[in-house]
Amino acid sequence: MTELPDWMRPPRDEGWFAEDLDRLPEAPRHTELIDGALVFMMSPQRWWHGHLVTMLTVALMEQAPAGVQVGREMTIKLDERNRPEPDLLVTTAPYEPDRTWYAPEEVQLVIEVVSPESAHRDRTVKLRKYAQAGIPHYWCIEEENGAPVVHVYELDEPTGAYAPAGIFRGTLTRPVPFEMSLDLDKLLPSRDT
């Protein structure tokens, strides 16, 4: 059996805590902390996923009002044992070049683009955790016949859970967290040859 490298050993008997992520320079990119366990994205990223995230970032940045930032590959410190890294987030926090995470109250929208290896976490675990942390909006983007389908959720404050707010194909128009209109079909190149 292969022995774990030292950096993969939890620093204490209780396991990992959110602040530990900033002290793991050897960890692979996109390392998350879910319920005190390190989660690595070890599979190669699919071109569909990476291109969609890039194009969606640009589209949202073009429509975001002043004071709203669109970020990618940044973690959210939900609590001391959870620090997931969504594909995209929308925040009203001011730009700080050395920042490594956001607090939930700074995040207005979290977007996860589902990959085969992240499907369970994106559809269930993160859906529940982001809601419990009070993040107002969550999008889970699935692939359907090569096209993006956006499952939109809004936080129902009385229950502290997300309520479905629609499933969008082709176009997505939303008034929250800011006025936006997205042509989902243009987020990916044409498959015509």
Residue 3 lies in a domain: no
**pTM for the predicted model, two decimal places:** 0.88
Tell me if 150 sits within 8 A of 138, measured CB to CB.
no
Residue 11 lies in a domain: no
pLDDT digits (tens, 9 = 90+) for 39-54: 876 566 788 999 999 9
Specify which of 6-15, 30-39, 63-72 reaches the highest per-range mean pLDDT: 63-72
How many distinct structural domains can be found in the chain? 1
pLDDT digits (tens, 9 = 90+) for 83-140: 999 999 999 999 999 999 999 999 999 999 999 888 999 999 999 999 999 999 999 9
pLDDT at 192 over 70: no
Residue 4 lies in a domain: no
79 DSSP 8-state letter? B
Residue 173 lies in a domain: yes
Q: What percent of the chain has pLDDT over 70?
A: 93
Contacts of residue 53, Cβ cutoff 8 Å, sequence gap at least 6: 72, 87, 88, 113
22 to 5, 26, 27, 50, 105: CA distances (angstroms): 17, 11, 10, 24, 20
Residue 130 lies in a domain: yes
Residue 17 lies in a domain: no
Q: Cα(95)–Cα(98) distance, rounded to whole angstroms?
A: 9
Residue 65 lies in a domain: yes
Domain range enclosing 180: 45-187
User: What is the CATH number for 147?
Assistant: 3.90.1570.10
pLDDT of residue 193: 46
Residue 22 lies in a domain: no
